[in-house]
Amino acid sequence: MKMNIIRISEMKDFVGEEVTIKGWLYNKRSSGKIKFLIIRDGSGFVQGVVVKNEVAEDVFELCDKLTQESSITVTGVVRKDDRSPYGYELTISSIKLIQMAFNDYPISLKEHGVDFLLDNRHLWIRTPKQHAILSIRHEVIKAIQEFLNNNGFVRIDSPIITPSTCEGTSDLFQIDYFGENAYLSQTGQLYQEAAAMALGKVYSFGPTFRAEKSKTRRHLNEFWMVEPEMSFVDHYENMEIQEKLVEYIVQSVLENRSKELKELGRDLSKLEKIKTPFPRLTYDEAIEILKKNGYEIEWGNDLGSPDETFLSNQFDKPVFITEYPAKCKAFYMQPKEDRPEVVMCADLLAPEGYGEIIGGSQRIHDYDLLIKRLKEENLPLEMYDWYIDLRKYGSVPHSGFGLGIERTVAWITNTEHVRECIPFPRTLSRIRP
Ligand code: 4AD
Ligand code: MG
């Protein structure tokens, strides 16, 4: 007889048929003559049922011995079961043991503290909640690439080892590069600007390093960022592309990962509302709203987390905060024409207090203005010679943005802390496992 080796995610196509699943024992329970095995195979979880009188004696005995996380191959008939959280059940006829797991598996099915779980991150990722978050992370990345690839963008990878700074000097990881100082990249943007002049619409997608000593629930020291950059695009068109991208990400997750969202208890109606256009507030308007509501903030200061949370709570969609004071932002942003103390930038704040998920701006394209800004920021012109070249040879208005993957995943999955939204987090207090 032909053996159907399938994954749990494919069970819906095999109702009533005998199938074989290769996976691990997640949990088990016994009720006299029936054993219930929760099996996971990477694609999902399912309950297997072993009935004493219906299987060979050694199969039933093996169920007693199986330890948590033992690797097994099970064969049985798929049944639809609407009462089961998994939707399907497997009536098991045989079990083959691959490895009997040591019986001291650290993550039991009771509650554990988060530090303990992070110490055991290599095992923690096997549990349903982490499985769901990481599956959704994959969907977010897939949707981003689909959207950009379908809209004429070319992926250009920026280098990770870089000779200079971009977003600021204080938060760089320094490395020794054959006797010279080099840094792990805190943004791929400057290279994307060069690429946008070569290929028009480009993006980089990769790890980003920030040596910030922040311990907030929104900060990682290594995170992933997608950075699109577009020639002949201004600040306003830049925001339109960002909101379309975010809508596409959220709608793709709803369409393809609703099972995982439900596993996480996510309120889907909140995500269904994420449709363009998104609201826009100028920085001036934001300051006025904050002051009216008792927040102590002066024009010229950057927004803090509590400010961002208050502002985003006014809307059920992400909100753009635009035109910040130049002094809060990086040197490369284009000043507003009639008001050079503010720049043509926008931060996109996620709803429900998840903070800034995108930072973007129109870039300075004028040669003299760029030199002036670099000097004002005391940045070494010789380090930026190639970047300045872009303003010498066919300079055009251009814009771009960076979207943080983990903060976006934290928002969509309703996960309190970004450290659960990356497979192996790097934070101030953690570099293992
Ligand atoms: O606002 P940021 O610093 O922007 C840039 O780096 C620009 N050069 C991007 C560009 O225009 N090409 O970072 C962009 C996004 C933030 O909005 C946030 O989502 C995420 O990156 N981010 C972080 N995520 C986790 N941990 C951190 N420490 C982060 N810092 C920024
Ligand atoms: Mg920012």
Question: Parallel, antiparallel, or unpaired: how do β-strands 201-209 and 154-155 relate?
Answer: parallel
> Is any ligand 1 atom within 6 A of the Cβ of residue 373?
no
At what angle are helices 405-413 and 128-150 packed, to 10 degrees?
Answer: 120
Ligand 1 atom 11 nearest Cα: 401
Tens digits of per-residue pLDDT, 398-413? 999 999 999 999 999 9
- CA neighbor of 84 nearest in space, from 137, 31, 138, 45: 45
> Is any ligand 1 atom within 6 A of the Cβ of residue 210?
yes
Q: What is the pLDDT averaged over residues 238-245?
A: 98
**Which among 157, 223, 238, 415 is the best mutation to test ligand 1's pocket, defined by most ligand atoms within 8 Å of the CB?**
223
Looking at residue 166, what is its pLDDT? 62
Structure tokens at 201: 């619409």
Q: What is the pLDDT averaged over residues 174-188?
A: 94
pLDDT for 103 beyond 90: yes
d(CA 88, CA 431): 39
**Which among 222, 356, 399, 403 is the best mutation to test ligand 1's pocket, defined by most ligand atoms within 8 Å of the CB?**
356
| Structural domains of the chain sorted by starting position, each given as residue range(s) with its CATH number in brackets | 8-99 (2.40.50.140), 122-421 (3.30.930.10)
Q: Percent of the chain at pLDDT above 90?
A: 92
Residue 433: asked if its preceding bond is cis (omega within 30°), the reply is yes
- For the question of whether the overall pTM of this predicted structure is more than 0.85, the answer is yes
Q: What is the pLDDT averaged over residues 123-137?
A: 97
Considering every ligand atom, which ligand is closest to the CA of 349?
1
pLDDT for 168 beyond 80: no
Q: Phi/psi of residue 415, each to 5°?
A: -100, 125
Looking at residue 165, what is its pLDDT? 65
d(CA 86, CA 200): 46
Looking at residue 86, what is its pLDDT? 85
Ligand 1 atom 29 nearest Cα: 219
Q: Phi/psi of residue 311, each to 5°?
A: -65, -45
Tens digits of per-residue pLDDT, 217-231? 999 999 999 999 999
> Is any ligand 1 atom within 6 A of the Cβ of residue 89?
no
Considering every ligand atom, which ligand is closest to the CA of 225?
1
> Is any ligand 1 atom within 6 A of the Cβ of residue 406?
yes
Considering every ligand atom, which ligand is closest to the CA of 208?
1
Tens digits of per-residue pLDDT, 340-395? 999 999 999 999 999 999 999 999 999 999 999 999 998 889 989 999 999 999 99
**36 bridge partner residues:** 29, 49
